[in-house]
């Protein structure tokens, strides 16, 4: 962490300059004219307004003190919008959360008879710096004693400048909806040192600057005892809502700064305002620009400080040039990486990304940025055919990436499908999502065969329901007589009465176990327990003949389920995928309020109704879309990924 070293370099340089001033006092400086006061108090995109400069300070030196990273107050402007997660500050040590600046202002010499003022309390972390000051003051005292030895009287020296202290409250916080990402937490600690360093240089620059476009509402910080600023790190959702509330613009922005300065208010505290930075946008921009997230946050923090100090690059080309000049000066002084401001403004307007297949998608939430979002759900139950699988029966790279990202954020992915478990493992194995490190395996929970087989923790079977044997016999006879291909499912195995290209397609296209051909119905029913049977026919044949026939033939003994237009299934009565979800939730002691479900077919209706948020893909049946909370993109448009990015976080 480079922050402390940089701070000590600045302090040493300033201390040496102070020593030179005391030993060789310069002539009185010319007074610096102060500027009239006025106040821009409105929030600004990419920043706010207001600044401060001292007409009396000969030099500003920063001393960084530690303070709580999550202050109970972010500032008046954010109290309503940004609750902070933090422990309360200790009442007995108020200076522990301050960043002190020490300057010198002319004053009359104190009475020699008066008792010496009590020493300032020693704040934590300042022992080393205080030791340096004591050593140098000791040397100056010895030198003065040697000069006082001559016999001739020496005229009294001019009054020494009285030491005054301006304290900067720099509160660094994280929005409640942003997870405690290790990198972001580390940046918070670094900002505790970096913010006052940048503020010091910015205020030093105002003492002798002659910028034409800067708002000079704040011109004199010498009359204040304290200067306060806050920095909040958040995600895109938070800053977009804040941008809409403060500026009336319903769009995401990289940074907002909101001035709290009130002109002509005679108080000892100067409240500059609040700086809000989206770490998610910063992470995207850092990746695009080839530097770290810390580099980007530093740039945005400097930009926010300048906006609070009255710079505004949006008013004119000249103002943009002046703000960029000051920004680069601060960044170079601190040896931080910089970015051309005009180019940054153009980059910040890019809110879309192009995928590998040429499609343009929203960039507000995409892979790699979900770490800045807190999950809304503990579980996502996802269908396979027509949902996670596209029309080629494949899991796309973007869907796989979204599942990995959600899982890395602590969300449990559970497959709820009409498929057999081996089919799901095979399909997800193609994108490295099967096995013990994936989302499905023989030792993971899951719902298969339309909820007729449910596996719980460690892959243990917790529920199984078989189809009535007489219904099975009737369906097998119908297949033989009408020459309609049929596949019977028995846990991890499939059976059929004869070979057929459609039966083979169930294995080669849909990943189901290869059907075993049996010679007779009695042989099949005598060797396996059947959970469901599936007819393979054209969509027209199913809708015109097959479905009407079986709905009447099995009434009360079984039910008809149609997950795909060219497939018709017979399953036990009073069963559904939703019932399997409920059984698994009870087993895991999970409330439906913690569940998001994604599906497309009629067999997904009960599951979508049970979940707290049900998402039906646009390619789904009209009945399914009618009961869903959200209608997403199609399965060929990575509908699962979009649903996760948009609604799971």
Between 3.40.440.10, 1.10.3720.10, 3.40.190.10, 3.40.390.30, what CATH number should domain 167-334 receive?
Answer: 3.40.390.30
Quote the percentage of the chain above a pLDDT of 70. 69
Give 132's pLDDT tier (boundaries 50, 70, 90): very low
Q: How far is residue 224 CA from its own chain's centroid?
A: 37
- Residue with the larger pLDDT of the pair 203 and 537: 537
The pLDDT assigned to 508 comes to: 93
Dihedral pair phi/psi, residue 172, rounded to 5°: -110, 125
Is the confidence at residue 23, as pLDDT, over 50? Answer: no
Give 590's pLDDT tier (boundaries 50, 70, 90): very high
Dihedral pair phi/psi, residue 375, rounded to 5°: -60, 140
Across the chain, mean pLDDT equals 76
Give 468's pLDDT tier (boundaries 50, 70, 90): very high
The pLDDT assigned to 225 comes to: 81
Dist CA 40 CA 436 (whole Å): 58
Task: Record the pTM.
Answer: 0.58
Is the confidence at residue 526, as pLDDT, over 60? Answer: yes
Report domain extents, the chain. Answer: 167-334, 375-464+577-648, 469-571
Q: What is the mean pLDDT of residues 568-588?
A: 94
**Are the beta carbons of 45 and 247 closer than 8 angstroms?**
yes
Between 3.30.1240.10, 3.40.640.10, 3.40.50.1980, 1.10.3330.10, what CATH number should domain 469-571 receive?
Answer: 3.30.1240.10
Between 2.50.20.10, 3.40.640.10, 3.30.430.20, 3.40.50.1000, what CATH number should domain 375-464+577-648 receive?
Answer: 3.40.50.1000
The pLDDT assigned to 130 comes to: 29
Give 592's pLDDT tier (boundaries 50, 70, 90): very high
Is the confidence at residue 94, as pLDDT, over 90? Answer: no
Q: pLDDT for 296-317, tens place per residue?
A: 999 999 999 999 988 988 888 8
DSSP string, 139-195: HHHHHHHHHT-SSS--PPPPPPPEEEEEEEEEEEEEBTTS---HHHHHHHHHHHHHH
Quote the percentage of the chain above a pLDDT of 90. 47
Lowest mean pLDDT among 3-17, 163-177, 433-447: 3-17
Q: What is the mean pLDDT of residues 470-496?
A: 95
Name every residue whose Cβ is closer than 8 Å to that of residue 465 and which is 6 or more positions away in sequence.
451, 452, 531, 572, 575
Determine the 3-state secondary structure of 643 from DSSP: helix
Q: What is the mean pLDDT of residues 45-55?
A: 39
Q: pLDDT for 159-186, tens place per residue?
A: 555 456 777 778 999 988 887 788 899 9
């Amino acid at each position: 962490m480079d922050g402390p070293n940089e701070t000590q370099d600045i302090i040493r340089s300033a201390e040496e300059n102070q020593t030179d001033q005391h030993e060789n006092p310069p002539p009185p400086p010319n007074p610096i004219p102060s500027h009239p006061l006025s106040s821009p108090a409105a929030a600004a995109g990419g920043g706010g307004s207001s600044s401060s400069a001292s007409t009396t300070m000969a030099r500003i030196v920063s001393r960084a003190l530690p303070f709580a990273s999550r202050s109970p107050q972010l500032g008046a402007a954010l109290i309503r919008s940004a609750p902070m997660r933090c422990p309360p500050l200790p009442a007995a040590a108020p200076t522990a959360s301050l960043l002190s600046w020490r300057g010198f202002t002319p004053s009359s010499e104190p009475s020699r008879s008066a008792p010496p003022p009590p020493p300032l309390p020693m704040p934590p972390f300042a022992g080393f710096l205080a030791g340096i000051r004591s050593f140098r003051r000791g040397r100056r005292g010895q030198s003065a004693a040697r000069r006082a030895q001559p016999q001739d009287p020496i005229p009294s020296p001019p009054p020494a400048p009285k030491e005054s202290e301006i304290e900067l409250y720099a509160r660094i916080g994280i929005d409640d909806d942003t997870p405690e990402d290790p990198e972001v937490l580390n940046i918070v600690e670094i900002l505790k040192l970096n913010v006052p360093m940048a503020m010091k240089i910015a205020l030093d620059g105002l003492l002798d600057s002659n910028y034409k476009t800067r708002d000079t509402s704040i011109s004199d910080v010498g009359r204040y005892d304290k200067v306060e600023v806050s920095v909040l790190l958040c995600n895109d959702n938070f800053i977009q809502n804040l941008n809409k509330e403060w500026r009336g613009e319903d769009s995401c922005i990289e940074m907002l700064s909101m001035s709290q300065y009130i002109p002509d208010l005679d108080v000892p505290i100067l409240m500059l305002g609040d700086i809000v930075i989206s770490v998610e946008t910063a992470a995207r921009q850092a990746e695009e620009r080839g530097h770290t997230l810390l580099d980007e946050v530093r740039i945005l923090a400097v930009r926010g400080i300048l906006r609070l100090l009255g710079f505004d690059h949006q008013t004119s080309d000249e103002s943009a040039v002046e703000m960029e000049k000051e920004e680069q000066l601060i960044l170079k002084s601190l040896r931080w990486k910089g970015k051309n401001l005009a180019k940054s403004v153009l980059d910040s307007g890019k809110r879309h990304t192009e995928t590998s297949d040429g499609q343009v998608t929203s960039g507000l939430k995409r892979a790699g940025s979900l770490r800045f979002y807190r999950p809304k759900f503990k579980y996502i139950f996802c269908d396979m055919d027509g949902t996670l699988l596209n029309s080629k029966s494949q899991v796309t790279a973007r869907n796989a990436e979204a599942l990995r990202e959600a899982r890395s954020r602590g969300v449990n992915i559970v497959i709820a499908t009409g498929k057999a478990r081996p089919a799901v493992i095979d399909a997800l194995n193609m994108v490295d999502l099967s096995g013990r490190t994936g989302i499905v395996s023989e030792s993971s929970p899951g719902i298969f065969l339309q909820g007729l087989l449910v596996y719980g923790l460690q892959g243990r079977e917790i529920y199984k329901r078989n189809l009535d044997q007489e219904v099975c016999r009737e369906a097998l006879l119908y297949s033989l007589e009408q020459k309609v291909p049929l596949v019977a499912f028995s846990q991890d195995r499939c059976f059929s009465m004869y070979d057929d290209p459609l039966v083979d397609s169930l294995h080669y296209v849909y990943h189901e176990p290869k059907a075993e051909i049996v010679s007779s119905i009695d042989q099949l029913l005598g060797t396996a327990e059947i959970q469901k049977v599936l007819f393979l026919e054209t969509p027209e044949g199913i809708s015109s003949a097959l479905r009407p026939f079986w709905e009447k033939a099995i009434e009360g003994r079984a039910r008809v389920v149609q997950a795909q237009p060219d497939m018709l299934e017979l399953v036990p009565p009073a069963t559904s995928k939703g019932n399997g979800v409920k059984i698994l939730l009870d087993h895991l002691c999970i409330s439906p309020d913690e569940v998001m479900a994604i599906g497309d077919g009629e067999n997904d209706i009960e599951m979508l109704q049970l979940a707290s948020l049900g998402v039906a893909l646009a390619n789904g049946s009209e009945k399914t879309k009618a009961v869903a909370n959200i209608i997403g993109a199609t399965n060929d448009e990575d509908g699962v990924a979009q649903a996760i990015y948009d609604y799971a976080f």
